Chains A and B, each alone.
Chain A
Amino acid sequence: MVDTSLLATAEQTILTPADIQQSDINRLIAELCATQVDAADIYFQNTRHESWSLEDGIVKEGSFNIEQGAGVRAISGEKTGFAYTDELNLNALLEAAHSARAIARSGQNQVHKVSSEMTPESLYNSSDPIQSLETDRKIELLKRIDRETRALDPRIEQVMVSLSGVHESVVIATHEGMICGDIRPLVRLNVSVIIEQNGRRESGGFGGGGRTDYRYFLDQDRAMDYAREALRQADIAMQAEPAPAGSMTVVLGSGWPGILLHEAIGHGLEGDFNRKGTSAFSGRLGETVASPLCTIVDDGTLKDRRGSLNIDDEGTPTECTVLIENGQLKDYMQDTMNARLMGMRPTGNGRRESYSHRPMPRMTNTYMLPGESAPEEIINSVKSGIYAQNFGGGQVDITSGKFVFTANEAYLIENGKITCPVKGATLIGNGPDVLTRVSMVGNDMQLDSGVGTCGKEGQSVPVGVGQPTLKIDALTVGGTQV
């Protein structure tokens, strides 16, 4: 089953109102290829974004944003010329094309005739999520979450709810004559609460979403599940004691703790760093980098997921790329430029924040496949250590391989039992080592709820992570109790 309607709809959204014809795109590509370039593309984008937020029991504000423009890129060897414009007219686009192509020496390329590309059946519904609920119902949803959450616990001081929706249309045209389009919805709902007890205040937050529409939060009353989870986390924080400091056995819960994989190995396996030899994983394809229990993939093809895409931002269809198989390093994540320079295959990981940013290799949904151990069995096997169930953000230095991620819900494990909750602490490790210390992998693989945003070189893109419960034999926990 193939579908060209996405391209047609995206063209109607972006190009038709600006009166940009197929012949204009041909001309722009020809202009870009008027110097000796290896590759060139144009990325047209229209994004509509809305958000609503509630605090102090009232919907204080909403915002609506339209962003539209085109980015133009010419590549010659390892060199990239890039320019963009917010004005969608032929003159502005030609000016951008002239700026971008200046990267290459003069000469002439063969110009391909533009043809429409067939894209696979869409992984998500292309209709506008912003229109999926009447405004009054969005407001009512936020107010109801506030009301029902406050009724759950008298210690609640503050409830904050935010709801956002994005409808993005893109058209991509390349020097090879390919033109393709995508329409990408994205929604998110977040609830955070502050509770107070005996003069101590603690907070908790939870959210979710995906490439779907607002009705997702009403199905099975997911919105209130988020609220209850936020309250549960705040309640656990209220009981937390200072965390231990030092190297110890760490059991990570399933789902969102998969940011371990994103930070510890994901970034290090992006093609650009490996082409340049700046990653701690450079030149290590085929080597053992993890325990044989670990198989890790980056999968952009999961239906409705936050990190999924029909095609990446260079028009390459996304795929499920096996990065590590039974502990062995199998593949890198590539965009077209780094794939070409490394003599590898593009993997559908060429992503960009918007038309005003250059594409680069980025993750989609990165997760570890399930193993065989029951989660209880994993906990029971630990004499002394910590169990970390929820995390805030993380960061990595891809060159030294050192990564951190910050637990905001964790417990001591004593003699095989989860005991006292401990305060948030940063966990630090070395990417190339940490997975070699995985001694048990759970059978409970879970993806996160749809809240991940990854930053690289100043560009943010939505991503997903996931994993089963994992046991790591030694990892440094940055608590305060020596």
Chain B
Amino acid sequence: MSQSVESIQKQQHMTDRQQQLEELKSIVDESIREAKKLGATGCDADISKSNGFSVTTRMGDVETIEHDRNQGLGVTVYFGQRKGNASSSDLNPASIRETVAAACAIARHATEDPFAGLPEPEFMATEIPDLDLCHPWPIELQQAIDTALNCEHAALEFDSTINNSEGATLSTHTGIQVVGNSHGFLEGYWTSRHSVSCCVIGEKQGSMQRDYWYTVAREQSGLDHAEAVGQEAARRTLRRLGSRSLTPRECPVLFVPEVARSLIGNFIGAISGGSLYRKNTFLLDSLGTSVFPDFMHIHQQPHQLKALGSAPFDAEGVATRTHDIVKGGIVENYVLGSYSARKLGLQTTGNAGGTYNLIVEPGQQDFQQLLNTMDTGLIVTELIGHGLNMMTGDYSRGAAGLWVENGRIVHPVEEITIAGNLKNIFNSIVTVGNDVHRDSNIQTGSVLVENMVIAGN
């Protein structure tokens, strides 16, 4: 009985969602018509809207309840080769007209740019796969509070040295993206995103450390248990207590998956259209060249069902593609939108707005085997600061982690920097672990780098 009630409710929600999608499509369509009426030769418009709430508990009590309702319309118009942009958080008809008019006014003042324009019509997504990205979580406020309380409680109870907290947060949101342009493209899709996170503080000999953990998924059932998240946050805080610095040295460095992601992110930044056509990258003209050792493969899989980075089309409505970005260490594809592609004399790779599920192919070794391979060196568990020169690849970041000798963790480390040049760092990757952490748009195991320079005192 309850089953059928649920399925009826589910159908009702689907119909409501379909209806909202149609409403937003008609606003996008109206914006494009308005732009044409004002003389635009091309127009691209998008709406995103999201709805949800988050609850934070701290030290066993509710701290904040936030209700979120975001919406925004963005319009790009072209008058021949001249381009203008405008956006607004107000979707009423008068505001939409004003927004389109503002974009047109800007385009009239912009300079002709031979590369400006919509994506070529043949690249627009024609089939929109249902990627199963929207699973609203029908959670009541009180239930959300209880979940956050349980998460934080598990962390605070984990060990007596955990004595303070930044709190635990449950957040649940659903959203909708609609993209349209004057080629006649007009599509949209729903997504959802739920997360539970926790950050706690431990104290030992008068000195405090904090760390956090989280789980995030499109679907509630994809989340780890709140208690497990709390316990992991506590475990991570505990392992940092008693940290000390290291004297300057050169040694191997093992980046744990959550940190290894940033190395892969740096690589993607360096082969992205904007960096390439501005020549602001250390990987200029790297297409078809070897950047990593030959065992490294990085694929993009935008159509994985329920995955965090999935999308049927990119920010311009171009079909997203499953393809290799790195194969056998060689750069197979840049990361391009239509503008940067034209600037480079290439074709868009359907990456306007970023990458969609990057998978670094895992190796054979688990974490302990990686430690054995490293023997003596540094595990990096956190990076802070922004010390990357994209132009030269020079890399120098603040770090915290664990010192390893003979494959065993000896003590936690803080107040050090790790430095090198990303070109060398990429090239000297020894192996990638099989300890893949999936809660991200970039999925990788730990990455072991042969040698970096550590500074500390």
The answer to the question of A339 belonging to the interface, with a C-beta cut-off of 8 Å to chain B, is no
A393 to B113, CA, bound (A): 33
Given contacts A63-B106, A393-B385, contact A84 B398 (CB under 8 A): no
Of the candidate stretches A28-36, A54-62, A164-172, the one touching chain B is A54-62
Decide: B208 and A400 in contact? CB cutoff 8 A: yes
The answer to the question of A78 belonging to the interface, with a C-beta cut-off of 8 Å to chain B, is yes
Closest 8 CB pairs of A and B: A478-B417, A404-B398, A404-B385, A63-B85, A245-B455, A247-B457, A58-B111, A426-B387
- B112: which A residues are within 8 A, CB to CB? 58
A329 to B257, CA, bound (A): 40
- B247: which A residues are within 8 A, CB to CB? 246
B416 is contacted by which of A397, A403, A476 (Cβ under 8 Å)?
A476
The answer to the question of A80 belonging to the interface, with a C-beta cut-off of 8 Å to chain B, is yes
Q: How far is the CB of A89 from chain B (nearest CB, A)?
A: 10
- B65: which A residues are within 8 A, CB to CB? 79-82, 99, 102-103
- B58: which A residues are within 8 A, CB to CB? 78, 276
A80 to B85, CA, bound (A): 37
A476 is contacted by which of B89, B103, B457 (Cβ under 8 Å)?
B457
The answer to the question of B17 belonging to the interface, with a C-beta cut-off of 8 Å to chain A, is no
- B457: which A residues are within 8 A, CB to CB? 246-247, 474, 476
- B102: which A residues are within 8 A, CB to CB? 64
A53 to B253, CA, bound (A): 40
A157 to B421, CA, bound (A): 23
By secondary structure, the A interface counts as strand
Residue on A with the closest CB to B102? A64
Decide: A477 and B90 in contact? CB cutoff 8 A: no
Of the candidate stretches A65-73, A115-123, A304-312, the one touching chain B is A65-73
User: Which residues of B from 173 to 210 have beta carbons under 8 Å from A?
Assistant: 201, 207-210
User: Which residues of A from 74 to 91 have beta carbons under 8 Å from B?
Assistant: 78-87
The number of residue pairs between A and B whose CB atoms lie closer than 8 Å in the complex comes to 245
Given contacts A66-B88, A399-B209, A426-B398, contact A247 B279 (CB under 8 A): no
User: Which residues of B from 361 to 409 have beta carbons under 8 Å from A?
Assistant: 384-387, 389, 391-392, 394, 396-398, 400
Q: How far is the CB of B250 from chain A (nearest CB, A)?
A: 6
The answer to the question of B86 belonging to the interface, with a C-beta cut-off of 8 Å to chain A, is yes
5 new A-B contacts, CB < 8 A, other than A277-B164, A482-B453, are: A66-B89, A83-B66, A160-B278, A201-B392, A396-B384
Given contacts A245-B248, A476-B456, A479-B419, contact A158 B109 (CB under 8 A): no
- A246: which B residues are within 8 A, CB to CB? 247-248, 455-457
The answer to the question of B338 belonging to the interface, with a C-beta cut-off of 8 Å to chain A, is no
The answer to the question of B166 belonging to the interface, with a C-beta cut-off of 8 Å to chain A, is yes
The answer to the question of A197 belonging to the interface, with a C-beta cut-off of 8 Å to chain B, is no
Q: Give the most central of B201, B417, B421: most A CB within 10 Å.
A: B417
A47 to B325, CA, bound (A): 40
The answer to the question of A252 belonging to the interface, with a C-beta cut-off of 8 Å to chain B, is no
- A403: which B residues are within 8 A, CB to CB? 384, 398
- A428: which B residues are within 8 A, CB to CB? 385, 398, 415-417, 455-456
Q: How far is the CB of B279 from chain A (nearest CB, A)?
A: 6
Residue on A with the closest CB to B85? A63
Decide: B245 and A68 in contact? CB cutoff 8 A: no
The answer to the question of A429 belonging to the interface, with a C-beta cut-off of 8 Å to chain B, is yes
Q: List 11 A-B contacts (CB under 8 A).
A: A64-B85, A67-B88, A79-B62, A83-B66, A102-B141, A245-B455, A278-B166, A358-B64, A400-B207, A425-B419, A482-B249
The answer to the question of A430 belonging to the interface, with a C-beta cut-off of 8 Å to chain B, is yes
Decide: B67 and A96 in contact? CB cutoff 8 A: yes
Decide: A158 and B398 in contact? CB cutoff 8 A: no
Q: How far is the CB of A270 from chain B (nearest CB, A)?
A: 13
A477 to B456, CA, bound (A): 8
The answer to the question of B116 belonging to the interface, with a C-beta cut-off of 8 Å to chain A, is yes
Residue on B with the closest CB to A202? B391
Given contacts A194-B279, A476-B416, contact A395 B210 (CB under 8 A): no
Q: How far is the CB of B43 from chain A (nearest CB, A)?
A: 14
Decide: A429 and B415 in contact? CB cutoff 8 A: yes
Residue on A with the closest CB to B384? A395
Decide: B280 and A194 in contact? CB cutoff 8 A: yes
Q: How many residues of chain B are within 8 Å of chain A by beta carbon?
A: 76
A202 is contacted by which of B69, B111, B392 (Cβ under 8 Å)?
B392
A481 to B420, CA, bound (A): 10
Q: How far is the CB of A292 from chain B (nearest CB, A)?
A: 24
Residue on B with the closest CB to A54? B111
B100-126: CB near A (< 8 Å → 1, else 0) gives 001101100111110010000000000
A481 to B103, CA, bound (A): 51
- A480: which B residues are within 8 A, CB to CB? 396, 419-421, 453
Q: How far is the CB of B58 from chain A (nearest CB, A)?
A: 7
Given contacts A66-B88, A68-B89, A428-B416, contact A478 B109 (CB under 8 A): no
Q: How many residues of chain A are within 8 Å of chain B by beta carbon?
A: 78
- B69: which A residues are within 8 A, CB to CB? 83-86
The answer to the question of A452 belonging to the interface, with a C-beta cut-off of 8 Å to chain B, is no
A65 is contacted by which of B87, B105, B396, B397 (Cβ under 8 Å)?
B87
A56 to B279, CA, bound (A): 12
A356 to B68, CA, bound (A): 8
A358 is contacted by which of B66, B70, B240, B453 (Cβ under 8 Å)?
B66
Q: Give the most central of A85, A96, A100, A247: most B CB within 10 Å.
A: A247
The answer to the question of B98 belonging to the interface, with a C-beta cut-off of 8 Å to chain A, is yes
Given contacts A66-B99, A139-B109, A202-B391, contact A78 B453 (CB under 8 A): no
Q: How far is the CB of B4 from chain A (nearest CB, A)?
A: 32
A328 to B344, CA, bound (A): 57
The answer to the question of A177 belonging to the interface, with a C-beta cut-off of 8 Å to chain B, is no
- A132: which B residues are within 8 A, CB to CB? none
Decide: A424 and B67 in contact? CB cutoff 8 A: no
B195-230: CB near A (< 8 Å → 1, else 0) gives 000000100000111100000000000000000000
A80 is contacted by which of B63, B84, B208, B384 (Cβ under 8 Å)?
B63
The answer to the question of A405 belonging to the interface, with a C-beta cut-off of 8 Å to chain B, is yes
Q: How far is the CB of A305 from chain B (nearest CB, A)?
A: 24
Q: How far is the CB of B65 from chain A (nearest CB, A)?
A: 5
A55 is contacted by which of B87, B278, B391, B398 (Cβ under 8 Å)?
B278
The answer to the question of B71 belonging to the interface, with a C-beta cut-off of 8 Å to chain A, is yes
Q: Give the most central of B99, B385, B455: most A CB within 10 Å.
A: B455
The answer to the question of B427 belonging to the interface, with a C-beta cut-off of 8 Å to chain A, is no
Decide: B455 and A203 in contact? CB cutoff 8 A: no
- B394: which A residues are within 8 A, CB to CB? 423-424
Q: How far is the CB of A415 from chain B (nearest CB, A)?
A: 22
Residue on A with the closest CB to B455? A245
Residue on A with the closest CB to B207? A400
Given contacts A60-B116, A476-B245, A482-B248, contact A404 B384 (CB under 8 A): yes
